[in-house]
Amino acid sequence: MSSDFETYEQDFGTLTAEITSRIGKIPKLGGDEKKNMVVNVEKQLEEARELLEQMDLEVREIPVQSRGMHSTRLKSYKQELEKLEKDFKRSRIAYSDEVRDELLGDDGNSSESQRAHLLDNAEKLERSSRRLEAGYQIAVETEQVGQEILENLHHDREKIQRSRDRLRETDANLGKSSRILTGMLRR
């Protein structure tokens, strides 16, 4: 099992090195070469995700004693892949800017600050989306807790009503027994 993990690690290392190299080339290429490079990087990123899934499966089968070390390494690989995906996204944004400039006949006078601003806005949008998702999750959990509380209150109400009915029945029985005893005492 551990040897499979190490094989996946080596494959992942080689693959990420290739991806990094290709991501660096994307902004420098033009036309069909650039499109082909983008498609190739997308395929390699998918392959890297599959390798991480395989590594994750291997970690789950490793004995508990050495699982921690492998889990830590797997986490770092996942972070590395996330960074590569962000870099790829940035290179694609640059690529899409160039395509837009070509289509619109722009002279290429768009400044780096505009690109940086666009990337900042994209990151802010991602953060906002994550916050909204977290808020939604909290709302769902709160709704579930509220639902459980309502169910508990409903059950408590039923218990109280049953207790009240028994109390009335007991009171009625006590009244009857009191009358019977009073009648017996008079005789």
CA–CA separation, 57 and 106 (whole Å): 49
- Per-residue pLDDT of 142-152, as tens digits, reads 999 899 999 99
Q: How far is CA 69 from the centre of its chain?
A: 24
Residues 19 and 34: beta-carbon distance below 8 Å: no
Whole-model pTM: value is 0.49
Share of the chain above pLDDT 70, in %: 89
What does the pLDDT average to over 41-67? 88
Check residue 104 and give its pLDDT: 58
Q: Where does the pLDDT of residue 95 fall: very low under 50, low under 70, confident under 90, or very high at 90 and above?
A: low
- Which CB contacts under 8 angstroms, 24+ apart, belong to 85-92? 85/45, 87/20, 87/23, 88/19, 88/23, 88/26, 88/41, 88/42, 88/45, 89/122, 90/119, 91/23, 91/24, 91/26, 91/27, 92/26, 92/38
- 134: tokens are 């977290």
- Per-residue pLDDT of 113-123, as tens digits, reads 788 888 888 88
Q: Where does the pLDDT of residue 153 fall: very low under 50, low under 70, confident under 90, or very high at 90 and above?
A: very high
